[in-house]
Every structure is written in C-alpha cells, then in structure tokens.
C-alpha cells in the first residue's frame, strides 16, 4: 500500500484530548514492533511542541502503522521518507513524534539472519549516507549512522558509528578513509579510532594507520587529509633522500595558498646537508576570457667546505620567469613569456628535466599587438632577449616597434583577384615599417684570467614598400613587382689602413644617414596536365601535372661609389678592400654586386587512380619531384647557381620518403680551393658534381597484435588515400592533408575490424595495442670532391600494452657514423587501481639513472608516494 499524508494532521490527531484516553492494544498493528530493539542509547531531549514545520511525504510497500499512544509511525518494507532536502530509503522506518526522531534500519536477510537487506540510505543535499542503522533528529538536525559509510568529494569514509553534530561537522568512530573504487575490499585505506570530517574541506584523524591490502604499513600520530577536489590551501609534502653530491636532503617542503578563485601561491624550500639551500615560489592568476599568467622564481645557495678552508666555494644562483596572456580588447592582446637565469649552473643543480639540462640558451619574448578592424593597419611592440648559457652573451631587442599595412588595392572597385576588372585595378601595395633597438653584452675571455665585458647598442629604422601587379590571364600568371627599402641610421663607420703596423683603424662617426635600395622583377608560371589511361591491373588513370615557373629580378650594384654606401682602402699588398659604411648596423647595409638573375623551377606531380569496384575509386599521389636553378647575367663568372632537386613520396600507409640533392656544374680547382669558371662537361665530360644529398625515411604505426594474423584475421593494407564514387572529382589537397586523411581512414578501419571480431565472455583477449615510429636520416655534404662529411642516424620509439594495466614505452637512436647509441629512454607504467607505479630509466649518457615511484592515483593524495632513484650526479 502507498500513503502520502501531512504530518500536521498526524500531530493534530495525537495531541487532541479526544484521542488521549488509554485505548489499549492498537488493533491496527499487524506485527510486533518490539521485535526490533534499538541497542543505541536513547536521545534524552526534553518533550516539547513539534518543531517539524514542513510536509513529510512517505511511502511503504507493506504497511504504515500509527501507534497513537506512543505517537510513533512505523513504515515497513522499502519505506521512503522525504522531508525538505532529506530523502531516506530503508527496510523499516520509525518516526517518533514525541522525541522528533527518525530511526531507520534494514530487514534481516531470510537466508542469513546476521545479514541485512534494504539497509538505510539517506541523501541530504549533496551528501549521501549508508549503514546498518540510521538516527536523525528533526529538531537539532543531528544524526548518526551505525556501521555506515558516506561518499566524500574525494573518495569515501566508513565508520562503526558516524554522527552528524552540525551541518558542517561529522564525528566517526573506528573509521577508515580511502579513494579506492572497491568499497567492499579496498586496496588501501587510512584507519583511525577517531575522525572528524568537515565535508568539502578536510578529514582530521587521530592515531592513523595506513593499511595496504589489509596489512598495516605505517603509523602517524595524526593526519589531515583533503576532502575535496580542486585547488585548496595546505602543506606541500616534501620528498627526502640522499644526493650523491649534496648529501641527505628534504626537498620541496612548502605551503600552497589558494587565495581565491583567481589566484594562488606556492612556496617551497629544500635543504641539503652538505651546504645547499633552495627556495622556490610560484604565483598564478587567471580570469577567464580576459587574462592568465604566472610569476615564478627560484634561488639556490651552494656553500662547499668550511669557512677556514682555502678551497671553500660559495655560489648564489637564481631564476625568474613571467608568463602573461591578456586579451585587452578584441583587437589588442599581450603575449609575454619571459625567463631570466643567473647561468647554466642553475639548471645543472636544480633539475633533472633533460630539455633543461641540454638547453643552450634562454629566450624571452614580450609582444603587444594591435590591429584596426576593417582596415589593413596593424602594429606590434616586441621585446626579445636571448641569453647564451654557454658563454654568457646576451642579445636584446628593446624594443622592436612594427607598423604594417597588408596588401591593399587602392584602385580596385571590387576586383582584387581573378579576372573581370580593369588592369590598373590589380595594382596593389603593402608597407612594413620597423624601429629596432639592439643591445648586446659579450664576455671576452682573457689569458690573464680576468674576463672583460663589452656592451654595444645599435638602433635604426627600416621601411619596406612592395608594389605588385598581378592580373590573371587565360593560361599564364604574370606578376611584375617593385620592392623598395629605406634604412635610417644615426652613425656610420670609416676604415683606415695603417702601413706602419698593418692594422686597420675603425672610426664610428655620428651623423644621420639614409640607405635606399630597390629591386624589380617579374615572375610567370603556368600548369600542364597530361592523363594516361592504361586500364590494366586495376589502374584506371595516371595524371602528370607539370608546373613550370620562371622569374627575373634586377638589383643594381649598390657598392658602386655613386650610391655612397661603400668605401674602400688598400691593404699592405695593394689590394683594394671595399667595405660597407653601415656594417654591423641592426639592418645591415645595401646589397653588394649587381644581379640580373633568372630563376627557373619545374614541379612534377604524378598521381594514380585505381578502381575498387564499379562505384568506388582510389586516388593517391605517386611522387612529387621538383627541380630549380638560377642564372645571373650580371656575374662575371660562375653564372649558373647550383641545381637543386627534391622529391617526396609515400608508400601506402607504411613509409614516408623525402630527400634532395644539389649539383654544381663547375670544376673544382684544388690549388685555389674554389670552383673556377670551367664547366665539368667541357673539362671531364661529366655533367655535374653532387655537393649535397639527404634522404629521410619515416614510418608510424599503430595496431593490435591480434590483427596481424597470429590471433585473428589479417587486416588488408589500404594503399590508397581516398575512396569516392567513380567519376567524382577530387579537390586539390596538400600532402599534409593527405597524410591526415589517411590516418583518419586507418583509425576507422581499426574500429571496424574490432567491432566484427567479437569473442565469448570466457575467451582470452590477446589484443596487444602497439604504436611507434621509426625515422632514418642520411645526409652528405661535399664542399669539394675529396671531402665528404656524412651523417647517418636512426631513431625510433615503441609503445605497447601487454595487459590493460601495463604500458611500456621505449625510445632511442643510433648514430651509424660514430657508432653510438643516442638518448635511450625506457618507461614502464602499471595501473594499480587506486595506485600507480612509474619506472623511468636512462641506461647511458651523462644523466644516466633510474627513477621508480609508486603513489596514490587520486590527485589530492599524490604526495603519498614511495620513490627510489639514482643517477651518476646524485638524486633527481
């Protein structure tokens, strides 16, 4: 039966005088309610008028019984009570109106009287409680649960008795806390005879034992455990160990302060027994859709030896960093990534990150960018700093201010490309202006042991104006252009040769100077397409696309005296030495030497189409091959440049192959050590010398072992790139897009294969996912026919899982020329359900060593871990 009544009516009935006589045994009671006896101490609250001020809705499958004499309501079998935000489900529920108590407990199991079914489950707001018995006081809003447990924001807790004393505080007797997903038999838990729980805050426990697989591992007198996810203030648990150089240490002890939803601060320190102290700070801030950033700093003091030792050593090292990304307005933003460090020794002593240990320089960038909507105008303010960690040299651009006008068609009436407008409408221009201030600081070593520092500052202005005319004709694209550059400097140099000591004196002269130079030219390209249809062996058609391109550029000789940009002097041998008076300026000077060069290139693209069936076809590229060369009419010799060739192809889904070579047409003279103006064909009947060559072969793969024919059907290789209905043309795509589409097809094919390879539930799954890649690179450089510099390197990576919770990865390289294994790295990961284990190992090299770490997987408890590590230079 189902009931839903108002408690107000019930209270009115039991308090009315007409119902106050002794009615004896209630004939409505269908069972002896004394069977279930409360073994807990009865609440001794005084009798008072009812404080229940809202509707109580209840249901019960078996019956609802009113004990008018004792002012109690009994609900039997799958009973449910809903009061405000409280919802209770249980086998039996008793509401005592006199004491304003709710008592709920389960029904004895018919199969085992020591077990209970329909145990009480109470949900109040976001809190959920389960147990053997549950008491709740409507007046005080307090309650208790016997042999119960409740979900926390992170994990859950269990207790012999859980008592709610306020809406924010719970006390637990003989409780345990864990984040394990197995509530019946957790892999680990923290046990304490007394716990205080503040929901969405902390769990405070006294005399805490950590149990792993039921075995006590360690004991601590008290513990404060997190009880909520996300950012929260608290201590940062340190690590400890023994460093090979600096002795016993306690590292990364500190405090994390979650100031508010927008910022936080972390402070940590490390102590080493042999004279080293580290301090680190990290301040982060963020406002969604507006800005985000961080400030970080580190300081390290190393003191080796005693104060009276002659070889005592003291070093102070520091690091400071700032990142800030700010969208000020829709058209203005700031991107900052600044990093400053005292020297390379800071990274050598403070980190084991391989990229930091191997870095050669530290780069900082700050950019303020602004553009104006519906205009071609934009502006950028930039600060750049490059610190060389090897020699200490620093180069700064402070600042660089750039103003840009993108390509604009001033005479256009809507025809900016294609055909349809008048010729003058295709005239366009673009402009770029830049102010640049360069500062350099160089350290010059001295044989006396005292290094000197040289500082230099250079600045200037560069203006670029580009004018293009780009109409499109029927078969050819012809584009004349004119490029103009103007530089502004405040100084120039003059050089004088001193015959007495054969030295050159360089004088810096202050004066405002202009440098103006230009180039002009024209380019033309077209396209030829040939189609061959053999219709044999499934080949439907082969398409050959040829793209010839030719351009001519003219640059005057700005080293001629009439321009005034170059001077000269005579050396001791009487040779005339020409130099630019703007050398070493931030933008350099005008180019030297006249150029009337024709550049020629020929692109070849070979594609093939095959038929899969009557309706589907496959199209893919066979090879992309390009040739290029230059011829300079103005050169007095060696008019031909080197001939360049490159190619790229793909062998199905297996291999990507690319390469290139350069060829010189002129003879090499060993006596002078350079090429002379004699063709190899005329001298040695050889067309050219190969001066450089490179080839790269790479592959990436991912599959399940069961799909390669050992444990299941073999997946067929798809050598095509795209399947489409026959007759439908394919859009033009780049090789990169083609590779991405092929990978998508591969992923779909793998999913399809898996969906049809169903197994019985008791059949062993032999699927072993494997992924990895190989890359081989070979190159040759031949500065002359008798000198060959080769490099040959193979690198690869492999990742696989032999079981659902095991992951292995390996990466390494091999240098065939030097016969060395390069950067081998092995990692093993084991998912231990609530725990995880990571093992990493560098077998060789200066930073060789290993690290084993086992820790709790829950982010809030990741500081609870066991670590073993070693390497040649100390601890990680």
In tens, the pLDDT along 72-82 reads 888 888 899 88
Backbone dihedral angles phi then psi of residue 325, each to the nearest 5 degrees: -125, 120
Q: What is the mean pLDDT of residues 583-587?
A: 90
- Would 844 be classed as within a structural domain? no
Q: Report yes or no: 706 and 767 within 8 Å, Cβ to Cβ.
A: yes
- Nearest-angstrom CA–CA distance, 317 and 340: 11
Same domain, 239 and 103: no
- Would 322 be classed as within a structural domain? yes
Show the CA angle centred on residue 546, arms to residues 544 and 550, nearest 5°.
175
pLDDT band at 846 (very low <50, low <70, confident <90, very high): low
- Would 203 be classed as within a structural domain? no
Largest distance between two CA atoms of the chain: 137
In tens, the pLDDT along 594-611 reads 999 999 999 999 998 887
Same domain, 573 and 465: yes
- Would 70 be classed as within a structural domain? yes
- Nearest-angstrom CA–CA distance, 262 and 153: 21
Residue 497: pLDDT over 70: yes
- Distances from the Cα of 173 to the Cαs of 121, 151, 582, in angstroms? 19, 16, 84
In tens, the pLDDT along 38-73 reads 333 333 333 344 556 667 788 888 888 888 888 888
Last residue of a domain, one of 90, 117, 151: 151
Helix, strand, coil percent content, the chain, rounded in steps of 5: 5, 60, 35
The per-residue pLDDT for 748 is 39
- Distances from the Cα of 775 to the Cαs of 466, 566, 742, 791, 792, in angstroms? 42, 49, 19, 14, 11
In tens, the pLDDT along 362-392 reads 899 999 999 999 899 999 999 999 988 888 8
pLDDT top residue among 857 and 521: 521
The per-residue pLDDT for 567 is 92
pLDDT top residue among 180 and 15: 180
Same domain, 552 and 637: no
- Nearest-angstrom CA–CA distance, 867 and 242: 12
- Would 206 be classed as within a structural domain? no
Tell how far CA 764 is from the center of its chain.
Answer: 36
- Nearest-angstrom CA–CA distance, 369 and 216: 60
- Distances from the Cα of 477 to the Cαs of 130, 417, 523, 544, 551, in angstroms? 79, 11, 8, 20, 11
Same domain, 571 and 648: no
Same domain, 497 and 551: yes
Nearest to 812 by CA among 820, 804, 800: 820
Residue 333: pLDDT over 60: yes
- CA trace torsion 707, 710, 712, 713 (10° rounding): 70
- Would 824 be classed as within a structural domain? no
Same domain, 18 and 139: yes
Residue 344: which H helix or E strand, with range?
helix 344-350
- Would 555 be classed as within a structural domain? yes
In tens, the pLDDT along 211-269 reads 888 888 888 888 887 667 667 787 887 877 777 777 888 888 999 998 998 999 999 99
Q: How many CA atoms lie within 13 Å of 489's alpha carbon, on the beta-carbon side? A: 25
Same domain, 696 and 723: yes
The per-residue pLDDT for 833 is 82
**Which residues, in sequence order, are bridge partners of residue 481?**
468, 521
**Which residues, in sequence order, are bridge partners of residue 82?**
57, 87
Q: What is the mean pLDDT of residues 11-18?
A: 37
pLDDT band at 824 (very low <50, low <70, confident <90, very high): confident
- Distances from the Cα of 679 to the Cαs of 651, 670, 689, in angstroms? 38, 15, 10
Same domain, 682 and 734: yes
- Would 779 be classed as within a structural domain? no
- Nearest-angstrom CA–CA distance, 149 and 846: 52
Q: What is the mean pLDDT of residues 576-593?
A: 91
- Nearest-angstrom CA–CA distance, 197 and 134: 18
Last residue of a domain, one of 151, 173, 203: 151
**Which residues, in sequence order, are bridge partners of residue 498?**
503
Residue 777: pLDDT over 90: yes
Residue 749: pLDDT over 50: no
Same domain, 666 and 619: no
Question: What HEC string does 789-856 produce?
Answer: EEEEEEEEEEEEEEECCEEEEEEEEEECCCCEEEEEEEEEEEEECCEEEEEEEECCCCCCEEEEEEEE
Residue 307: pLDDT over 90: no
Q: Report yes or no: 497 and 575 within 8 Å, Cβ to Cβ.
A: no
- Where in the sequence is the domain holding 24, given as residue range(s)? 1-151
Sequence-distant (6+) residues with CB within 8 A of 832 are: 187, 805, 854, 857
Please, what is the average pLDDT of the chain? 80
Nearest to 276 by CA among 248, 295, 256: 248
In tens, the pLDDT along 638-651 reads 999 999 999 999 88
Tokens representing residue 592 in the block: 């030297």
- Nearest-angstrom CA–CA distance, 307 and 310: 8
Q: Put residue 141 in one of left, alpha, beta given phi > 0 → left and psi -120 to 50 → alpha.
A: left
- Nearest-angstrom CA–CA distance, 674 and 784: 8
Q: What is the mean pLDDT of residues 339-359?
A: 75
Residue 722: pLDDT over 70: no
Last residue of a domain, one of 623, 641, 674: 623
Nearest to 281 by CA among 228, 246, 316, 322: 322
- Nearest-angstrom CA–CA distance, 12 and 271: 72
Residue 622: which H helix or E strand, with range?
strand 616-632
- Nearest-angstrom CA–CA distance, 239 and 862: 12
Residue 27: pLDDT over 80: no
pLDDT band at 35 (very low <50, low <70, confident <90, very high): very low
pLDDT top residue among 17 and 809: 809
SS3 call for 282: strand
Tokens representing residue 821 in the block: 């294994």
Domains in the chain, number: 3
Same domain, 684 and 695: yes
Same domain, 124 and 246: no
Q: What is the CATH number of the domain that holds 146?
A: 2.60.450
DSSP state of 423: G
Q: Report yes or no: 694 and 659 within 8 Å, Cβ to Cβ.
A: yes
Strand residues in 680-834 grouped as ranges (E) = 689-704, 722-725, 769-784, 787-803, 806-815, 820-832
Q: What is the mean pLDDT of residues 646-662?
A: 90
In total, the chain counts a number of residues equal to: 876
Same domain, 583 and 635: no
- Distances from the Cα of 865 to the Cαs of 240, 243, 852, in angstroms? 11, 18, 10
């Amino acid at each position: 039966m189902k009931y839903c009544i108002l408690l107000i009516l019930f209270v009115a009935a039991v308090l009315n005088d007409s119902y106050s006589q002794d009615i004896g045994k209630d004939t409505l009671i269908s069972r002896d309610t004394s069977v279930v006896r409360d073994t807990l101490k009865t609440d001794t609250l005084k009798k008072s008028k009812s404080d229940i001020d809202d509707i109580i809705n209840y249901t019960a499958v078996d019956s609802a019984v009113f004990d008018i004499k004792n002012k109690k309501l009994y609900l039997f079998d799958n009973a449910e009570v809903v009061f405000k935000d409280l919802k209770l489900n249980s086998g039996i529920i008793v509401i005592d109106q006199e004491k304003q108590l709710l008592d709920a407990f389960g029904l004895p199991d018919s199969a085992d009287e020591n077990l209970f079914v329909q145990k009480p489950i109470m949900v109040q707001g976001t809190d959920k409680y389960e147990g053997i018995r549950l008491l709740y006081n409507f007046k005080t809003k307090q309650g208790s649960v016997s042999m119960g447990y409740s979900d926390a924001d992170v994990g859950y807790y269990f207790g012999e008795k859980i008592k709610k004393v306020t809406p924010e505080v719970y006390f637990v007797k003989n409780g345990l806390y864990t984040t394990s997903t197995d509530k019946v038999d957790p892999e680990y838990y923290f046990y304490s005879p007394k716990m205080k729980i503040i929901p969405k805050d902390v769990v405070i426990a006294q005399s805490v034992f950590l149990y792993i697989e039921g075995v006590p591992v360690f004991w601590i007198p008290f513990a404060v455990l997190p009880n909520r996810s996300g950012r929260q203030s608290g201590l940062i648990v340190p690590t400890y160990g023994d460093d090979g150089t600096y002795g016993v240490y306690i590292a990364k002890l500190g405090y994390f302060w979650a100031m508010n939803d927008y910022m936080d601060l972390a402070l940590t320190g490390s102590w080493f027994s042999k004279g080293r102290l580290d301090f680190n700070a990290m301040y982060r801030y963020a406002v969604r859709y507006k800005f985000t950033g961080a400030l970080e700093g580190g300081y390290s003091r190393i003191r080796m030896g005693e104060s009276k030792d002659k070889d005592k050593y003291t070093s102070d090292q520091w690091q400071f960093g700032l990142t800030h990304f700010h969208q000020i307005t829709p058209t203005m933003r700031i991107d900052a990534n600044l990093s400053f460090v005292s020297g390379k020794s800071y990274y050598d002593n403070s980190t084991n990150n391989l990229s930091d240990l191997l870095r050669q320089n530290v780069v900082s960038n700050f950019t303020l960018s602004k553009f104006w909507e519906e205009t071609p105008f934009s502006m950028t303010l930039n600060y750049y700093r490059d610190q060389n960690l090897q020699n200490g040299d620093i180069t700064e651009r402070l600042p660089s201010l750039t103003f840009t006008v993108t390509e604009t068609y001033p005479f256009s009436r809507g025809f900016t490309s294609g055909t349809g407008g008048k010729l003058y409408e295709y005239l366009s221009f673009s402009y770029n202006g830049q102010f640049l201030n360069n500062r350099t600081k160089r350290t010059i070593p001295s044989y006396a042991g005292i290094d000197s520092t040289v500082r230099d500052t250079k600045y200037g202005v560069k203006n670029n104006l580009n004018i293009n005319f780009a109409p499109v004709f029927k078969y050819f694209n012809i584009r004349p252009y004119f490029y103009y550059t103007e530089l502004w400097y405040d100084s120039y140099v003059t050089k004088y040769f001193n015959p007495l000591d054969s030295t050159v004196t360089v004088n810096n002269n202050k004066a405002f100077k202009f440098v103006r130079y230009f180039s002009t030219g024209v380019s033309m390209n077209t396209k030829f397409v040939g189609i061959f249809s053999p219709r044999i062996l499934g080949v439907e058609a082969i398409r050959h696309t040829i793209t010839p391109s030719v351009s001519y550029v003219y640059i005057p000789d700005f080293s001629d005296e009439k321009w005034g940009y170059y001077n000269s002097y005579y050396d001791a041998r009487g040779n005339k030495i020409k130099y630019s008076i703007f050398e070493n300026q931030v933008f350099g000077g005008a180019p030297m030497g006249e150029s009337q060069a024709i550049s020629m290139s020929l692109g070849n693209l070979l594609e093939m189409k095959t038929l899969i069936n009557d309706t589907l076809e496959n199209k893919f590229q066979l090879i992309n091959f390009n040739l290029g060369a230059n011829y300079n009419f103005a050169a007095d010799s060696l008019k031909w440049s080197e001939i360049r060739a490159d190619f790229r192809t793909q062998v199905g889904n297996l291999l990507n192959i690319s390469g290139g070579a350069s060829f010189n047409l002129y003879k090499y003279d060993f006596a002078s050590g350079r090429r002379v103006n004699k063709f190899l064909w005329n001298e040695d009947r050889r067309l050219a010398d190969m001066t450089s060559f490179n080839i790269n072969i790479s592959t990436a793969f991912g599959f399940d072992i069961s799909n390669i024919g050992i444990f299941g059907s073999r997946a067929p290789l798809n050598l095509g790139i795209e399947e489409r209905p026959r007759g439908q043309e394919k859009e033009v795509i780049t090789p990169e897009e083609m590779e991405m589409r092929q990978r998508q097809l591969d992923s779909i094919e793998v999913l399809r294969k898996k969906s049809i390879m169903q197994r019985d539930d008791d059949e062993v799954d032999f699927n072993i996912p494997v992924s990895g890649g190989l890359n081989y690179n070979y190159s040759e450089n031949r500065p002359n026919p008798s000198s060959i510099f080769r490099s040959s390197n193979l690198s690869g990576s492999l990742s696989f899982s032999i079981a659902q919770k095991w992951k292995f990865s390996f990466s390494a390289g091999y240098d065939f020329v030097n016969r060395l294994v390069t950067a081998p790295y092995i990692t093993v990961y084991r998912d231990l359900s609530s725990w995880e284990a990571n093992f990493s190992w560098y077998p060789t090299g200066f930073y060789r060593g290993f690290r084993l770490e086992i820790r709790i997987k829950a982010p809030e408890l990741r500081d609870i871990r066991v670590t073993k590590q070693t390497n040649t230079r100390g601890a990680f």
